[in-house]
Amino acid sequence: MRKFKTLLLCTAGILLAFSACKKDRNKGPKGTREELTKDSIFLYAEQTYLWNESLPSYEEFNPRSFTDLNAEVAAFKQYAPLDKYSFIDDGTVSDELGGQGGDFGFSVAFNNNPDDLRVTYVYPGSPADQKSLKRTDKIIKINGRGGLSGFNDDDINFIVNAIWGSGKTLSLTIENPDKSTKDISITRGAYSIKPILFSDVITRGSKKVGYFVLNSFVQISGADNIPTVFKSQLDDLFTYFQSENINELIVDLRYNGGGSVETADYIANYLAPTGTTGIMHIDYYNSTMQANQASILQNQKFVYDGKLYSYFDFDYSTSSSIARSDFEKKGTLNLSRIYFIVSGATASASELLINSLKPVLSGGVQLIGQKTVGKPVGFFPIHIDKYDLYIPQFQTKNRNGEGNYFDGMTVNKADNEDASKPFGDETERYLAYALHHIQNGNYAISFVSKAKGSSMSVQQAEKASQLFNRTRSKGMIKQLR
């Protein structure tokens, strides 16, 4: 089928999934709006869930027995132990994928010490940026609560709820370098997400090293394939690197929880060596979808070029344009290896980019930081009433058939980051490791911690990072076309 950009028609209150799958269609669906939503969630999973063969019958699962929608979606995971990813959303993820933020616009992490909470990044133009919050700021109180510890799960949950919960305002007490403090109050608001947080070209000996921090794979095209601003920003970035004739590249994905598959593929085509062709990755759907038997997808409708289509119109077999992505080299960069900075917050489309490039770079990839989340599966949003359901529909593998990194990607050099240094500071720990390896071929460089008290192990920092970013992972989201 020809490629289409989806513009979804969402009809609130009409639960087509259930009405289409009832055996007695003359009677129609019975139940409250919430009960029908619960039914629809299960019926979509029954046909489109990657692990649908492990699900019980409708009667045994009894979707209406769950207290709420989140509890029902979480219940899928007991039948599919590999599923750490299913969730239901109110449209926030779709907005963020489209480049629109609606939170405070920053994130935090414990800086190699359970008592040293730091701002790790701030989106330009966000509410936090408007209050002059910046990376390296040390937070000693959140909403009046101090003594927050990276060893305490209750403290971590408190931080997560305060920063990424539903609160409209947030108060912070920041400690300045001279130990004086200042209080900041931030109000949640809308802003445009600018995923490239930093970029530069660094000279090391005879080598020119490109470096950029990419925080999200937001969409590069909108309705009817109209390019987004972010696509132009990516093109400008790689044009800059090409004009500088870089011969090494460091891609910083330490806070990147994923996003659009299309965007990951677009970047991979810039980073692949000259002449790269053939398979980039193949996405494997369940047998029901591959056999074109997921009839429930007829209810996921969209308009393209004035015509009405549905998700059922697509071919999900492994040879289709939906499942297979091929390299189409862009630009003139001709790299033999790439350094990726990663962490316990790096997931989904970030891991897809790394995994897709591994087989085609003669010098391979080098990973620095912490083990990644481990999400080799992806999905497309299923619209039910006023919600978007995200359940894994496919597993992705690269041209060598590699893609079972459910436990995360291990790194070549493991360490905790140093959020007391700004992006681009050549003494910042992760960047310093990469630059040292580029120049010397090893990671034999040491750092003296100035933090007082107990330090966090890499594993402890990974756990805290995953908890902080569990609500920030956008997944590996496919825009059906």
Q: Are residues 371 and 424 in the same domain?
A: yes
Mean pLDDT lowest for which of 150-159, 439-448, 465-474?
A: 465-474
Q: In the chain, what's the furthest Cα-to-Cα distance?
A: 76
Assign 472 a pLDDT band (cuts: 50, 70, 90).
low
Determine, yes or no, domain membership for 333. Answer: yes
Half-sphere exposure of 338 (CA within 13 A, CB side): 27
> Is residue 36 domain-resident?
no
Q: Return the higher-pLDDT residue of 8 and 275.
A: 275
Point out the domain boundary residue: 191, 222, 244: 191
Structure tokens at 43: 């019926």
Whether 80 is in a domain gets the answer: no
Same-domain check for residues 221 and 329: yes
According to the model, what pLDDT value does residue 476 have? Answer: 79
Q: Which residue has the higher pLDDT, 80 or 27?
A: 80
Classify burial at 102, counting beta carbons within 10 Å of its beta carbon; exposed 0-12, middle 13-18, buried 19 or more: middle
End position of a domain, from candidates 170, 191, 212: 191
264/354 same-domain check:
yes
- The yes-or-no verdict on residue 78 having pLDDT over 70 is yes
71 within domain boundaries: no
Alpha-carbon gap, residue 413 to 201, rounded angstroms:
22
Nearest CA-CA partner of 95 in 218, 195, 189, 7: 218
CB distance 150 to 460 below 8 Å = yes
Q: What confidence tier does 347 reach under pLDDT thresholds 50, 70, 90?
A: very high
Q: What is the DSSP string of 344-373?
A: TT--THHHHHHHHHGGG-TTEEEEEES---
64 pLDDT higher than 80 = yes
d(C-alpha 350, C-alpha 341), whole Å: 11
| pLDDT above 70 coverage of the chain, percent | 89
* CB neighbour class for 298 (10 Å; exposed up to 12, middle 13-18, buried from 19): middle
Question: Over pLDDT 90: what percentage of the chain?
Answer: 78
Flag whether 296 is in a domain. Answer: no
Q: What mean pLDDT is predicted for residues 422-429?
A: 97
pLDDT, residue 473, reads 54
Residues of the domain holding 125:
100-191
Tell me the average pLDDT across 112-127: 94
Same-domain pairing of 331 and 423: yes
Task: Specify if 128 maps to a domain.
Answer: yes
What pLDDT, in 10s, does the model give residues 91-103?
889 899 999 999 9
Say if 93 falls within a structural domain. Answer: no
Round to whole Å and give the CA distance between 294 and 63.
20
Q: Does the pLDDT of residue 325 top 50, yes or no?
A: yes
Structurally, the chain folds into a number of domains equal to 2
* Residue-level pLDDT at 113: 86
The dihedral region occupied by 434, where left means phi > 0, alpha psi between -120 and 50, and beta the remainder, is: alpha
Instruction: Please tell me whether residues 241 and 370 are part of one structural domain.
Output: yes
**How much is the average pLDDT of 437-455?**
77
What are the φ and ψ backbone dihedral angles of 116, each rounded to 5 degrees?
A: -115, 85
Which of 17-21, 28-32, 346-350, 459-463 has the least mean pLDDT? Answer: 17-21
> Does the reported pTM lie above 0.75?
yes
Checking if the pLDDT of 6 tops 50, the result is: no
Residues 335 and 460 in one domain: yes
DSSP string of 22-38, one letter each residue: -S-TTT---S-HHHHHH
Question: Quick check: 49 pLDDT over 90?
Answer: yes
350-380: per-residue pLDDT in tens? 999 999 999 999 999 999 999 999 999 999 9
Same domain? 338 vs 456: yes
Same domain? For 161 and 200 the reply is no
Whether 213 and 106 map to the same domain: the answer is: no
pLDDT, one tens digit per residue, over 8-31 is 333 333 354 444 444 444 455 689
Residue 183: closest CA among 125, 121, 137, 124: 137
Residue 271's pLDDT band, with cuts at 50, 70 and 90, is: very high
Q: Of the candidates 132, 160, 191, which is a domain's last residue?
A: 191
- The per-residue pLDDT for 20 is 44
Tell me what the pLDDT averaged over the chain comes to. Answer: 90
pLDDT, mean of residues 109-116: 88
Query: Which CATH number does the domain housing residue 352 bear?
Result: 3.90.226.10
Q: How far apart are CA 62 and CA 269, in angstroms?
A: 46
Same domain (yes/no): 442, 339: yes
Mean local confidence (pLDDT), 37-44 = 98
- Tell me the mean pLDDT in the region 146-171: 93
User: Are 216 and 361 contained in the same domain?
Assistant: yes
| 154 and 263 fall within a common domain | no
Instruction: For residue 213, tell me if it sits in a domain.
Output: yes
* Mean per-residue pLDDT, 298-321: 92
Task: Give the pLDDT mean for 157-173.
Answer: 95
Q: The domain spanning residue 181 has which CATH number? A: 2.30.42.10
